[in-house]
Amino acid sequence: MYGIITDKKIEPFISLDDYISIGQMNYFENEYFPKQFDKFCYNLPKIISKSKQATEHWNQQISIYGEVKKVPHTEPVYLFNKLMSTYYGDWIEREEGWKLIETYIPEFVEYLKDNVVDYFYDFFIKYEIKGNPMIFHRDFGADTSGEKGIEPDEEEYRSSSAVWTWFRFSDSKKLYVSDFDGKDDVSKRIPLDAYGAMFNGRDYHGCYDDSYGYSSRIYATLKQKIIDDNNIDVSNWDETYPPKDFMKELCLK
Whether 172 has a pLDDT exceeding 50, the answer reads yes
Q: Spell 142-181 as b/e; 16+ CB within 10 A means b.
A: eeeebeeebeeeeeebbbbbbbbbbbbbbeebbbbbbbbe
pTM as predicted? 0.86
With a cut of 90, say whether residue 110 has pLDDT above it: yes
Amino acid in position 243: P
> The domain containing residue 109 runs over which residues?
4-250
136-147 pLDDT, tens digit each: 888 875 555 556
Number of neighbouring beta carbons within 10 Å of residue 139: 15
Q: What's the domain count of the chain?
A: 1
Q: Is 82 left (phi over 0), alpha (psi -120 to 50) or beta?
A: alpha
Query: What percent of the chain has a predicted confidence (pLDDT) above 90?
Result: 49
* CB neighbours of residue 130 within 10 Å: 11
Q: Which helix (H) or strand (E) holds 109?
A: helix 106-115
Residues for the chain: how many in total?
253
